[in-house]
């Protein structure tokens, strides 16, 4: 096969090789080649003249330029011999070291060729994988915390300073009807990563605590686990909040992520009143948990710092993300970076670069820092030359916390906020950005965080998990500004259970509320229906709103004045019944309770706890 730079000089034993003109033929049909080679060798062996006494002369050949470490042999047979005992030195050097000590390729040429062909097949396969991974897109998924539908400049806020996110929106695709799966944190994160409603994975009711016994079940398949077989390297930096558990079994490195740096739960789940949230020494504002260990910063499953330093946390995260991206590119590996930010959850914090610079006070400073992070990530992709091969997707885990007044977020025209199944609790900002692939614009199509897993899997050519998914591939929306495959959105409450099930259903532009309930997280709005004092209330017939005409859900259409909408309610009821019939609730992970000994502590044997858990 001279056209590939390899030479195999042989007699009739190897005549078949000369009839196969390309290396790809051998690789494409390895079993046929092996069988034919053996048959040819058997025939030629009966005709071959035995070598003279002493056999072939052996010439020592250094392996891969390391003559002192390993020496291998090829045969230079005397000229009179009819069957030359020659295996190309260059070809034999390709064979893995572990095969080379077991036999002499000259005396067992058929076996040697079998090994060589197997090696070439593996090299070809590796080359194919390398070529395919080189063209695979990268993914950067940024997940804000408690960011409201109306908090960004691109979504209409008059005083937010978000130049990078606004630029992302103007150069990307901005969604107006994008939803999280839950009005609170942990369930929303589970649905994002698995493409399944939190009911299926058991991430309910409410959210995980530092000492929770449960977590995201290990048999659930995350986006990271979907991408791994395609050669992706994966990392998460930021807030996990899907459980720590016994022996830290639920941390990201057991859920498909190669690298993890972050806080394993919400940064208010620990004593924070004496911690500094803004320079030079402005203490954190908000209700934090004094009876828990201080909030740790973890690297994979090891505590790096406890308590975490808020002032330089975002810089630490940015440095990690930049290094991860640059290392992945240098190694020519496609990457998935999941960046679940702590911003805008209370207590707000910001470093020197953002503190005191915004018009919205502490909330605005934290938002400015989040915006700077987005700008840094996009700039890194551009500087490293991969922005045109990377999908950047930005969204939020749920609506804004309205508890803190000026320190809280903004839902725009939407009703209520975090903790409720009104629009303000679950409709969130979302931006897709991919230069040269996604045309700038605005889409009013219905979509959800649930749709990210099937979309990313489709773009990466990855196999979907063999489970019931609740997401749809958004490619038609992203690349053609086309229609959504999603027809309905289902609203589960913060404290969901099987007794009540769904609180609301959106079908097309109409939304029906079967139950409503206020939340302490939306207490400071003028609307009394949002407050914690608003009890759980069933509605029969359900409340009905036209979200295109009335996004604030102020005008109930399920009244005698609108008999023409009875058919709409019936259709929604059919969709709801079909969905609930197919819903299988997983074991409630958060209901398993807590164990203080499971709280992450860098000095586990210290006393008195939790105050003694400090390091770094």
Residue 600 covered by a domain:
no
Residue 117's pLDDT is 72
* Signed CA dihedral, 561, 566, 572, 578: sign only: positive
User: For residue 597, is it within any domain?
Assistant: no
In a domain, 605, yes or no: no
- The pLDDT value recorded for residue 75 is 41
If one compares 24 and 479, the residue with the highest pLDDT of the two is 479
Residue 421's pLDDT is 98
End position of a domain, from candidates 132, 155, 176? 132
114 and 239 share a domain? Answer: no
Domain match, 175 and 278 both: yes
Q: Do 101 and 157 fall into the same domain?
A: no
User: What per-residue string of b and e applies to 412-424 under the rule 16 or more CB within 10 Å gives b?
Assistant: bebbbbbbbbbbb
Residue 16 has pLDDT above 70, yes or no: no
Residues 107 and 149 reside in one and the same domain: no
Distance CA 237, CA 217 (A): 20
- Residues 165, 111 within the same domain: no
What percentage of residues in the chain have a pLDDT greater than 90? Answer: 72
Instruction: Establish if 255 belongs to a structural domain.
Output: yes
Domain boundary among 89, 116, 132: 132
Secondary element (H or E) of residue 19: helix 15-19
> Could you count the other beta carbons within 10 Å of the beta carbon of residue 24?
12
By DSSP bridging, strand 430-433 and strand 390-396 are antiparallel
CB-facing half-sphere around the CA of 455: CA atoms within 13 A: 27
Higher-confidence position of 59 and 458: 458
pLDDT band with cut points at 50, 70 and 90 for residue 288: confident
For residues 555-580, average pLDDT? 95
The H or E element spanning position 302 is strand 302-305
| 388 three-class SS | helix
Q: How far apart are CA 500 and CA 383, in angstroms?
A: 51
Residue 406 within a domain: yes
- Say if CB 410 and CB 151 are below 8 A apart: yes
In angstroms, the CA 576 to CA 585 distance is: 16
Question: Could you read off the pLDDT of 404-461 as tens digits, one per residue?
Answer: 667 889 999 999 999 999 999 999 999 999 999 999 999 999 999 999 999 999 999 9
**Is pLDDT at 2 greater than 90 in this prediction?**
no
State phi, psi for 491 to the nearest 5 degrees.
-110, 115
pTM value?
Answer: 0.79
The count of C-alpha atoms lying within 13 angstroms of the C-alpha of 375, restricted to the half-sphere facing its C-beta, is 14
- Of 338, 373, 339, nearest to 353 by C-alpha is 373
One domain for residues 475 and 528: yes
Q: Which domain holds residue 70?
A: 2-132
pLDDT of residue 273: 80
Mean per-residue pLDDT for 94-122? 61
CA-to-CA distance for 336 and 227, rounded, in angstroms? 8
Task: Out of 132, 152, 173, pick the residue that ends a domain.
Answer: 132
Query: Which range (85-99, 451-465, 536-550) has the least confidence?
Result: 85-99
The packing angle between helices 185-194 and 452-460, to 10°, is 30
* pLDDT value for 67: 36
In sequence order, which ranges of 238-309 are alpha helices (DSSP H)?
none
pLDDT greater than 80 at residue 121: no
Q: pLDDT, tens digit, for every residue of 228-273? A: 999 999 999 999 999 999 999 999 999 999 999 999 999 999 998 8
CA torsion sign, 278 to 346 to 207 to 315? negative
Return all residues near 595 (Cβ < 8 A) that are at least 6 apart: 211, 213
Residue 219 pLDDT > 70: yes
Q: Look at residue 65 and tell me whether its pLDDT is greater than 60.
A: no
pLDDT at 31: 41
Residue 222 in any domain: the answer is yes
Whether 430 and 578 share a structural domain: yes
Note whether 508 and 495 are within 8 A (CB). no
187: in domain: yes
Q: Give the span between the Cα atoms of 403 and 522, in whole angstroms.
A: 5
- In a shared domain, residues 226 and 126: no
Q: What is the pLDDT of residue 53?
A: 44
Task: Indicate whether 134 pLDDT > 70.
Answer: no
| CA pair distance 450, 445, nearest whole angstrom | 14
CATH number at residue 495: 3.40.720.10
Look at residue 62 and tell me if it is in a domain: yes
DSSP secondary structure letter of residue 220: S
- Per-residue pLDDT tens digits for 373-389: 999 999 999 999 999 99
Residues that are catalytic:
185, 241
Q: CA quadruple 513, 519, 524, 529: dihedral positive or negative?
A: positive
From the CB of residue 407, how many other CB atoms can be counted at a distance below 10 Å? 19
Spatial CB neighbours of 334, under 8 Å, sequence gap ≥ 6? 133, 134, 136, 137, 138, 227, 230, 231, 232, 233, 328, 460
Q: How many domains does the chain have?
A: 2
pLDDT at 143 over 80: yes
Q: What is the mean pLDDT of the chain?
A: 85
Q: Are residues 246 and 340 in the same domain?
A: yes
Q: Among 77-91, 471-485, 528-542, 561-575, which is the least confidently predicted range?
A: 77-91
Span 163-202, pLDDT tens digits: 999 999 999 999 999 999 999 999 999 999 999 999 999 9
Q: Are residues 322 and 200 in the same domain?
A: yes
Q: Per residue in 302-333, pLDDT tens?
A: 999 999 999 999 999 999 999 999 999 999 99
Instruction: Choose the most confident range, by mean pLDDT, from 19-28, 496-505, 543-552.
Output: 543-552
Say yes or no: 117 and 248 in one domain.
Answer: no
Q: Are residues 510 and 431 in the same domain?
A: yes
């Amino acid at each position: 096969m001279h056209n590939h730079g390899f030479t195999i000089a042989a007699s009739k034993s190897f005549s078949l090789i000369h009839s196969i003109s390309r290396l790809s033929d051998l690789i494409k049909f390895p079993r046929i080649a092996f069988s034919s080679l053996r048959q040819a060798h058997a025939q030629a062996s009966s005709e071959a003249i035995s070598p003279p006494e002493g056999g072939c002369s052996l010439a020592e050949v250094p392996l891969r330029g390391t003559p002192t470490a390993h020496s291998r042999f090829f045969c230079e047979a005397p000229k009179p011999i009819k069957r030359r005992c020659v295996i190309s030195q260059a070809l034999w050097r390709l064979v893995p070291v572990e095969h080379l000590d077991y036999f002499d390729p000259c005396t067992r040429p058929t076996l040697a060729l079998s090994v060589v062909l197997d090696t070439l097949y593996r090299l070809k396969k590796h080359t194919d994988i390398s070529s395919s991974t080189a063209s695979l897109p990268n993914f950067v998924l940024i997940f804000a915390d408690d960011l409201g539908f109306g908090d960004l400049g691109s979504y209409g806020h008059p005083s937010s300073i978000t130049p990078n996110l606004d630029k992302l929106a103007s150069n990307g695709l901005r969604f107006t009807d994008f939803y999280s799966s839950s009005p609170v944190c942990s369930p929303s994160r589970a649905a994002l990563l698995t493409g399944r409603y939190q009911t299926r994975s058991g991430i309910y009711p409410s959210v995980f605590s530092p000492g929770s016994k449960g977590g995201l079940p290990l048999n659930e398949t995350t986006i990271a686990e979907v991408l791994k077989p395609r050669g992706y390297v994966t990392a998460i930096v930021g807030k996990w909040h899907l459980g720590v558990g016994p022996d830290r079994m639920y941390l990201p490195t057991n859920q498909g992520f190669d690298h993890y740096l972050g806080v394993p739960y919400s940064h208010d789940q620990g004593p924070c009143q004496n911690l500094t949230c803004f320079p030079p020494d402005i203490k954190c504002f908000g209700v934090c948990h004094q009876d828990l260990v201080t909030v740790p910063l973890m690297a994979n499953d090891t505590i790096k710092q406890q308590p975490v330093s808020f002032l330089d946390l975002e810089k630490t995260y940015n440095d990690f993300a930049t290094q991860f991206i640059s290392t992945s590119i240098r190694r020519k590996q496609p990457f998935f970076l999941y960046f679940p930010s702590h911003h805008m959850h209370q207590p707000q914090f910001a470093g020197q670069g953002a503190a005191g610079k915004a018009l919205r006070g502490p909330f605005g400073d934290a938002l400015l820092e989040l915006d700077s992070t987005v700008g840094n990530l996009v700039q890194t992709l551009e500087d490293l030359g991969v922005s045109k091969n990377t999908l950047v997707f930005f969204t939020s885990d749920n609506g804004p916390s309205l508890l803190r007044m000026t320190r809280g977020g903004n839902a725009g025209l939407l009703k209520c906020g975090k903790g409720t199944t009104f629009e303000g609790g679950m409709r969130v900002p979302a931006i897709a950005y991919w230069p040269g692939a996604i045309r700038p614009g605005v889409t009013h199509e219905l979509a959800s965080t649930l749709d990210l897993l099937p979309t990313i899997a489709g773009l990466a050519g990855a196999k979907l998990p063999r489970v019931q998914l609740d997401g749809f591939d958004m490619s038609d929306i992203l690349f053609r500004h086309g229609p959504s495959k999603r027809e309905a959105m289902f609203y589960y409450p913060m404290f969901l259970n099987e007794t009540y099930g769904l609180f609301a259903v959106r079908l097309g532009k109409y939304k029906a509320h079967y139950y409503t309930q206020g939340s302490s997280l939306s207490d400071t709005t003028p609307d009394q229906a949002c407050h914690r004092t608003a009890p759980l209330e069933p509605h029969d017939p359900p409340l009905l709103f036209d979200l295109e005409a009335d996004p604030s859900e102020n005008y109930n259409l399920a009244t005698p004045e609108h008999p023409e909408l009875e058919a709409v309610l019936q259709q929604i009821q059919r969709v709801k019944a079909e969905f609930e019939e197919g819903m299988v609730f997983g074991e409630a992970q958060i209901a398993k309770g807590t164990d203080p000994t499971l709280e992450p502590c860098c000095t586990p044997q210290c006393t008195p706890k939790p105050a003694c858990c400090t390091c770094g």
